[in-house]
Chain A
Amino acid sequence: MKLYLRYLAIHFKSQMQYKTSFFLTLIGQFLTAFSTFLGIWVMFTRFNTVKGFTYTEVSLCYAVVLMAFSLAETFFRGFDTFPRMIGNGEFDRILVRPRSPVFQVLGSKIDFTRLGRLLHAAVIFAWAIPRSGVNWNAANIATLCGMILAGSLVFAGLFLLYAGICFFTLDGLEVMNIFTDGSREFGRYPLSVYGDAVLRFLTFVVPIALFLYYPFLTLLGKSDSLLWRICPLFALLFLVPCYLVWRVGLLHYRSTGS
C-alpha cells in the first residue's frame, strides 16, 4: 500500500510538470464526455421514455457507467497501454523486480487526466440523484456504491484480459475496445434497451449488466429482488478468468521471451 501511494505521488508529480497540458487534457476529458450526454439530452427532447426509463433515470445509469469506467481508466491504465510496455522492453524490467507483476503494471501508469470524466460523472450524479425519485436509504446508497466499485473492477478485468492476450499477439487487440469503450458508450442507456440478445450476452459473457442493469432496477424500485441487488458481487467472478488468461500469457511470455 505504501508503495502504491509512492506510485501515485510520482505520477502526480510527473504530470504536474506539464500543468497546462494536464489541465487542458483534464478539461478535454470533461467536455468530451459532455457531448455524449448532449446526445442523451437530444433524444429526450423528442421522447419521454425509452423502454420505460425516463430522462433522469437514464442519466443516473450513464453516471454510474461513466464513473466506474473513469475510475478503472485512471487507476488500471497500465494494462490499457500494455502492448507498448511489452514492445519497449519495460515489462522485462518489471520481471527483474521482486514484486507481483500485476501490481507493478498497475503502478506503471496512473493517468490523472482521466479524472476529467470522473468529474463529469460526478456532475451528472449531483444533477440526477435528487431528481431520480430514488429513495436514498442505506440499502440503495450501498447498492449504488457497489455498482460503481464492481463496475470499475469489471473494466479492470477487461483491461487485464486485454493485456493477457497481448502476451500472445504482442500487439493490442483493438477488438477489445468493443467491450471497454463500447460498454462505456452504450451503457449510458439501461441495457434492456438493446434487446434480449444483447442483454443476455452482457449478463453471461461480459458481465456488464450484472453491475449496471439488474441492481439498477432495484434502485429504481422496478424490482425488489435481493438477488438482483447483490448482482455486482457475482460480476466480480469475471476477474477469475481474466486473471487466468493473464497468468497463462505470462507463462507464455517467459517461455518465448518476446
Chain B
Amino acid sequence: MIELSHLHKTFRVARRNAGMGEAVRALFRREYTEIHALDDISFRIGDGEMVGYIGPNGAGKSSTIKVMSGILTPDSGSCVIDGCVPWRDRRAHVANIGVVFGQRSQLWWDVPVIDSFDLIRDIYRVEAHQYRADLDELCDLLELGEILRTPTRQLSLGQRMRCEIAASLIHRPRILFLDEPTIGLDAVSKLAVRDFIRRINRERGTTVILTTHDMQDIEALTERIILIGRGKILLDGALDALKAKHSALRRIAVCFAPGTTSPAARPLPQGIALLSADEGRAEFGVDTALHSVSSAIECLTRDIDVRDLSVTGQSTDELVISLYEEFRI
C-alpha cells in the first residue's frame, strides 16, 4: 500500500544570466528562482495495482518517484509505503522496491549478465535456493536463456532492457518503479517488455508504477492513470472511464469512386464536421452525443458510391494531448 498525502517539495535554482559581468555578480549575490516540483501531491495506490504516472517533462514525475524510492526528502507531507517512510527508513524500504531507470543501466558493461545478477543477489542478500528458483522463472518468462552468458555490451537494447527489469526483480520487490522502460526499443521488444511486466504483475502481485511518454505502454499495461502537471495532480482515474468521457468524438473516413459526388459537397447537420477532403476521400468528425455512429454513416453515405469506410475513436495519444491542452500544461 502506497499512501502519499500533501507532499511538497520546492527547489531553489540559481538564476544566472549570460555574460561575463553577470557571472562576476553571481559570485556575490545570487538570485534564486523557486520551483515547486511537488505541490500538494496526494494519492493512494493499492497492492497489486498497475498505475501509469504521466505528465510532460519537468512536471514532477521523477521527483515523486525519487521521494517514493527514498532518494529525495520532501519539504513537508507524508508518504508511507508498506508501513515505511522511504526517506527515514531508507535501507529497510529499498529492500522491498525495485527501480528501473530506462536510460541508465545497472548491469556491468563488460561481463556476462549472470555476473551482474550474482552481484545484485549479494547486495540484496537473497537466499541461494530462492535465487535459483527465481532466476529460472525469470529466464523462462523473459526468454533470457542464452543471453545470460553474454556480456551486456553485446546485447541489443531490447535484450538489455529485459535484463534490466529482471535485475530489478531478483530480490522479489513488492513494488516496481519503471521509468520509461520501453524508450528506444523496437516494436517487437516493446511488446515483449510489456508482456513481461503484465505477467510479473499478475503472477507475483507486484505493484507497478510506470512513468512513460509512450501511450501504448499506458494503454497496454495500466488501468489507472495519474496525470501530474506543474507539481500538481490533475487527474487520477481509470483509463477506460477517462477515454469514455473524453472520446465522444469519432472519425469517419469515406472513400468513394472518383468523379462521383463527394459527401463533402452536401450540407452537414450540426454535430458532424468535415475534417478533410481529397479527391475520392473525405473525413468527418462526429460528436456521438448528438448522433449515433450508425445514423452518421447513414447520413454521410446516402447516394454515394462508397468504396471503403472506416470509423476510428480517439487514440490514447490524442487523449493525452487533449488532456494537456485542457489543463494547459
Do A and B touch, yes or no (CB under 8 Å, in the complex)?
yes
How far is it, in angstroms, between the C-alpha of A2 and the C-alpha of B63 when the chains are bound?
34
Q: B32 an interface residue at 8 Å Cβ cutoff?
A: no
Q: Given known contacts A14-B109, A17-B151, A95-B70, is B123 in contact with A254 (CB within 8 Å)?
A: no
CB distance from A19 to the nearest CB of B (A): 12
Q: Which of B91, B101, B123 contacts A92 (CB 8 A)?
A: B101
Q: Count of chain A residues with Cβ under 8 Å from any Cβ of B?
A: 26
- Is B99 within 8 A of A96, CB to CB? yes
Do A257 and B66 have beta carbons less than 8 Å apart? Answer: yes
Instruction: Say if the beta carbon of A88 comes within 8 Å of chain B.
Output: yes
Docked CA distance A97–B122 (Å): 11
Contact of B149 with A by CB under 8 A:
no
Given contacts A6-B119, A95-B71, A98-B91, contact A89 B109 (CB under 8 A): no
* Segment of B110-118, B139-147, B281-289 engaged in the interface with chain A: B110-118
Contact status of A95 and B118, CB under 8 A, knowing A17-B111, A254-B71, A257-B71: no
| Cross-chain contact A97 with B94 (CB below 8 angstroms) | yes
Q: Report the bound CA distance from A95 to B177 in whole Å.
A: 14
**From residue 79 to 135 of chain B, which have CB atoms closer than 8 A to chain A?**
87, 90-92, 94-95, 97, 99, 101, 104, 106, 108-111, 115-116, 118-119, 122-124
| B42-72 interface with A by 8 A CB criterion | 63, 66, 69-72
How far is A93 from B119 in the complex, measured between Cα atoms in Å? 14
Docked-complex contact A256 and B119, CB < 8 angstroms: no
Q: How far is the CA of A99 from the CA of B94 in the complex (A)?
A: 9
Expressed in whole angstroms, the Cα–Cα distance for A2 and B91 within the complex equals 19
Q: Is the CB of B71 within 8 A of A96?
A: yes
Asked whether B124 lies within 8 Å of A7 as measured between CB atoms, the reply is no
**A contacts with B: majority SS:** helix
Q: How far is the CA of A258 from the CA of B71 in the complex (A)?
A: 10
**A255 is an interface residue with CB less than 8 A from chain B:** yes
A10 in contact with B71 given A90-B104, A256-B11 (CB within 8 Å): no
By a CB distance below 8 angstroms, the chain B residues around A256 are: 11
Q: State the Cβ distance, B11 to closest chain A Cβ, in Å.
A: 7
- Min CB gap A23→B, angstroms: 16
B116 neighbours in A (Cβ, 8 Å): 10
Contact A98 B11 (CB under 8 A): no
Complex Cα–Cα for A14 and B123 (A)? 18
Mark each residue of chain A from 219 to 258: 1 if its CB lies under 8 Å from any CB of chain B, else 0.
Answer: 0000000000000000000000000000000000011111
> B interface, by DSSP: helix, strand, loop or mixed?
mixed
- Check if B301 is an interface residue, CB within 8 A of chain A: no
What are the residues of chain B within 8 A of A255 when measuring CB–CB?
72-73
Assuming A95-B94, A98-B124, is B119 touching A7 (CB within 8 A)? yes
A3 within 8 A of B: yes
Assess the A99–B123 pair: CB atoms within 8 A.
yes
Instruction: Specify which chain B residues have a CB less than 8 angstroms from the CB of A257 in the assembled complex.
Output: 11, 63, 66, 71-72
Provide the residues of chain B in CB contact with A17, threshold 8 Å. 110-111, 151
B124 touches A97 (CB 8 A): yes
- CB-based contact A92/B110 at 8 Å: no
B94 touches A98 (CB 8 A): yes
A98 and B151 contact, Cβ closer than 8 Å, known pairs A6-B118, A254-B73, A257-B72: no
Does any Cβ of B come within 8 Å of A46's Cβ? Answer: no
Whether A93 contacts B110 by the Cβ 8 Å rule is no
Query: Is A3 touching B94 in the complex (CB atoms < 8 A)?
Result: no
CB atoms of A96 and B69 under 8 A apart: yes
Give the B-binding residues of A (Cβ under 8 A). 2-3, 6-7, 10, 13-15, 17-18, 88-90, 92-93, 95-99, 104, 254-258
CB<8 Å pairs between A and B, sample of 6: A10-B111, A95-B69, A95-B71, A96-B69, A98-B91, A258-B11
